[in-house]
Structure 1
């Protein structure tokens, strides 16, 4: 009997661990073009994004639009492969990884400055907090409004120094992409304005009082 009980405990622990890991590695939202649908499907994402708004003063629609562009909400997103002579695979073009596509050095800066040493780039809550930190710092360093998805994305891609040097002017494709991020952020903002009250109440409230 003791052996069976021990096995049950071990099995239960393994199940909890497996469920925890599967939660971190959740698939991308089914309707990424609609922020209401995203948060209805993944309610914990809304609460994480709202926490970032309260903590960093960053409107929800801006980091969400940037994250969509960076990773399509894939927890394990990686940048393209690099090739030698155009044919031999040789690592990745950068160290970017996860939901936010944060590069290793910048992620380590975030961990050090926030004390969030256990943060993971494949965890949505950590990734969007990183983006809130970056957007807030962009505002402090370069004076770009936290509501300006266009300017914030240029900083996110080029870095604070690159933005100051206007390196993006030599990259018309990046300017085009930044405009796409801006349009998506505006769409997200309009959508969220219509559904956030329900999201704040949660499914339990809406079931009985909605």
Structure 2
């Protein structure tokens, strides 16, 4: 009986240690929230948490979308919030669900995220991890370059393709959405601003 109790205690200790290690790993993989005061300056974002720079430049080397465009898209999609998602819809006071399954830094929807994981082999990717989110944006923009002949350095067009999907972009669905074209111009303007700042970052 005494040996059995010792075995149970060791199992509890081992379980606790595994949980502790898993928690540490998850925290170490997460980037810290970007302060609102730093969101308009890419150098301050990088200085706040080096993971942002490392993740952006890693995606750039792999897929070809510049860091300033990647972060301009993240700013527009989630304002750097790891758990961002569309607002809940309501009927009277009753919640009826969210308009889409978009989630995380990149606001990737379930289906496209699963396609990304399947095609890249990144099966453990999380939408609230900045490395995975920026890799996803880079991958998706690469598909836009291939399928829709969009330049990865043209933030205006790359955002329209990101928002509308390749089929929608090729059908020019954005031309019926003046608000979206205005938003794409905002993304382009911010990408240019980030690019100029990036050139001065240490």
Same fold (TM > 0.5): yes
Partner of 2:113: 107
Note the 1:127-142 alignment, pairs <5 A. Answer: 127-142=133-148
Q: Report the Cα distance in structure 1 between the residues aligned to 2:52 and 2:16, rounded to whole angstroms.
A: 29
Q: Which residue of 2 aligns with 1:35?
A: 42
Larger deviation, residues 132-141 vs 39-48? 39-48
Equivalent of residue 170 in structure 2, options 134, 144, 164 = 164
Give unpaired runs (5+ residues) of structure 2: 1-5
Q: How does 1:44-59 map to 2 (within 5 A)?
A: 44-59=51-66
Tell me what 2:21 maps to.
Answer: 16
Is the 8 Å Cα contact of residues 24 and 122 (structure 1) preserved in structure 2? no
Shift of 1:91: 1.0
Say which SS state the counterpart of residue 194 (structure 1) adopts: coil
Count residues with an aligned counterpart: 193
Give the alignment partner of residue 121 of structure 1, picking from 107, 120, 127: 127
**Quick one: distance in 2 between partners of 1:52 and 1:105?**
21
TM-score, normalised to structure 1, is 0.84
Within-5 A mapping of 1:85-96:
87-96=93-102
Q: Summarize deviations over 1:177-202 as a string: whole Å, max 9, x none.
A: 1110000000000000111xx3xxxx
The whole-number CA distance in structure 1 between the counterparts of 2:103 and 2:156 is 22
Alpha-carbon distance in 2 for matches of 1:164, 1:80: 28
Paired with 1:25 and 1:35, the residues of 2 have a C-alpha distance of 18
The 3-state SS of whatever aligns with 2:86 is: coil
Cα pair distance change 1:35/1:110, threshold 3 Å: same
Shift of 1:54: 0.8
- TM-superposed deviation, 1:22: 3.3
> Is 1:173–2:173 an aligned residue pair?
no
Q: Does structure 2 retain, via aligned residues, the 8 Å contact 1:52–1:58?
A: yes
5+ long unaligned stretches in structure 1: 199-210
CA positional deviation for 1:11: 5.4
CA distances 1:62-88 after superposition (whole Å, capped 9, x unpaired)? 11100110001111111122234x653
TM-score (norm 2): 0.87
